[in-house]
Amino acid sequence: MAVYTQVDDITLSNFLATYNVGTTTSFKGIAEGVENSNYLLETTEGQFILTLYEKRANPEDLPYFLDMMEHLASKGLPAPLPIHDKAGAALQKLAGKPACMISFLKGVSVDHTSPDHCAELGLTLAKMHVALADYAVQRENDLSIDGWKELFEKVRAGADSVETGLEKLIESELAYLSEQWPTNLPKGTIHADLFPDNILFTGLKITGVIDFYFGCTDTLAYDLAICINAWCFDEKHDFVAEKAKRMIEMYDVERSLSPAEIEALPTLCRGAALRFLLTRLYDWLNPVEGAIVRPKRPDDYIKRLKFHQQITDTAHYVV
């Protein structure tokens, strides 16, 4: 949530000379994303986001993310379009960092999600899954069961400092999920981080899906489970059935959920809750020195996990 790498005027104008995007009329660092440097660039031709990838991004993964955005944008989904330079390349080097210019998407993130927002998200998510069905490149999800186990080893010693019994809770949940995690459901390319701050609305319409840097190949319904966790609770972190009902219904309009997917939803939701519980717990126990963004407390996801644990049937989500 900052600009880590400064781009000076001469570096910028040399960089832009390799593109057909007109000349700069404005250039401002924006507080978007936690891990990379982002600039809003306005030229005589339009508005763009210029991203410099900082050290947490694996340069080998960047073509996967950019191609994923381009795949979606070219099919009319509201994803940013990577801009190619005169020689045809989208991925660049700028100020010593991997960099990319993408189209700017209009819209505003919502902090207070409504059932209507959730319905629109369900529809968009399903459209993305369908549009990505022929995106052939694969990328393993680092943050699935094996990744959770690794993370747990790093946080178990500190877990009970956040809430008594948390180490035990995670340990038994990991044991449960290792047994129960569905492996035969339809897989494909998922966003894997569709939180409200990664969705831009214009009115009740989604006009932007951003931040594809957790994109990977995984169970499609798991992406839906992530969205249920991220969107279908209220400000006190209590579940709102109406939101989940509308989201699932509208997803199903665009891509039919199989009976097996529906049956697996409670387990997938437990996994999604555990995934964000673990990363938040890790960030909470290992604050980055000098970071302006205070890590979010993991409590909200402890509460979500406990909620999903007592759901035995997907029908309970939607009544």
Contacts to a second copy by CB under 8 A = 1-4, 8-10, 12, 24-32, 40, 42, 104, 106-112, 200, 202, 290-292
Q: How far is CA 1 from CA 30, 43, 109, 123, 247, in A?
A: 8, 24, 15, 29, 29
Coil vs helix vs strand at 314: helix
Q: How far is the CB of 24 from a second copy (least distance, A)?
A: 5
Residue for token pair 């390799």: 18
Report the residue number, 60 or 235, with the smaller CB distance to a second copy. Answer: 235
Q: How far is the CB of 31 from a second copy (least distance, A)?
A: 3
CB 261 within 8 Å of CB 129: no
Minimal distance in Å, beta carbon 35 to a second copy? 13
Chain centroid offset of residue 92 CA: 23
Residues 67 and 57: their CA atoms lie apart, in Å, by: 16
Q: Provide, rounded to whole angstroms, the least separation between the CB of residue 129 and a second copy.
A: 27
- 24 or 309: whose CB is closer to a second copy? 24
- List of residues 6+ apart from 111 with CB closer than 8 A: 196
What's the token pair of residue 231?
């969107």
Q: Which two tokens stand for residue 139?
A: 């990328």
Which residue number, 207 or 309, has a Cβ lying nearer to a second copy?
207
Residue 8 or 153: the one with the smaller Cβ distance to a second copy is 8
Q: How far is the CB of 151 from a second copy (least distance, A)?
A: 25
Cβ-based nearer residue to a second copy, 27 or 176: 27
